[in-house]
Amino acid sequence: MAAVLDIAVTAWSPLGGGILTGKYKRNAERPKDARYAQGVWHEDLFVTDRNLTIAEEVQAIAAEIGHTPAQVALGWVRQRRGKGVLIPIVGARRLSQLQDNLAVLDLTLDDEQLAHLDAVSAIPLGFPHDFLATDQVLRSSTETPRAGSTTTGNNPQNHLNCKGAKNAQVRV
């Protein structure tokens, strides 16, 4: 929506509180001084399997190209082509973190890397999007109508009776 309305977005916490830096590992104890240390009430909102999977992919690309995971994550935000203007807000606690974050200015991810990160982090849209993308729906939308059927919705095979509703019909 922001891109359509030509509104810049300031991306708060583009490193996910350290998740995308590799600070948090699957099935490992969290660092004691970490933002999402054991026992913090909101840790389960952010340190999730989904987010750790995304972080693992960021780390893999970082290792492949010789940059840090933080630089890859920030580069991913910076290079969001066609998504409008995104301005990442970095929140470094130490000078070394700030220097590492600023080194993103020397990084350019290729289209394949960007597409991979977009795919692994895609938000499931749920119903009706997942239903409309099924093979059955896609196949039926490209099939030629059978003899005797109509495309106006008058075919009784295209309707289901609502249970409990007198004479009500729902189009399929």
Report yes or no on 152 lying in a domain.
no
Report yes or no on 113 lying in a domain.
yes
**Residue length of the chain:** 172
Domain extent at residue 63: 9-120
The answer to whether the beta carbons of residues 36 and 30 sit under 8 Å apart is: yes
- pLDDT, tens only, 71-125: 999 999 999 877 788 888 888 889 999 999 999 999 999 999 999 999 999 988 8
> How many structural domains comprise the chain?
1
Q: Residue 45: which residues within 8 A CB-CB, separation 6 or more?
A: none
Rounded mean pLDDT of 44-69? Answer: 94
At 164 the pLDDT is 44
What single letter denotes the amino acid at residue 84?
A: G
Instruction: Tell me, yes or no, if the pTM score tops 0.75.
Output: no
CATH for 16? 3.20.20.100
Report yes or no on 106 lying in a domain.
yes
Report yes or no on 61 lying in a domain.
yes
Report yes or no on 169 lying in a domain.
no
Report yes or no on 29 lying in a domain.
yes
Report yes or no on 41 lying in a domain.
yes
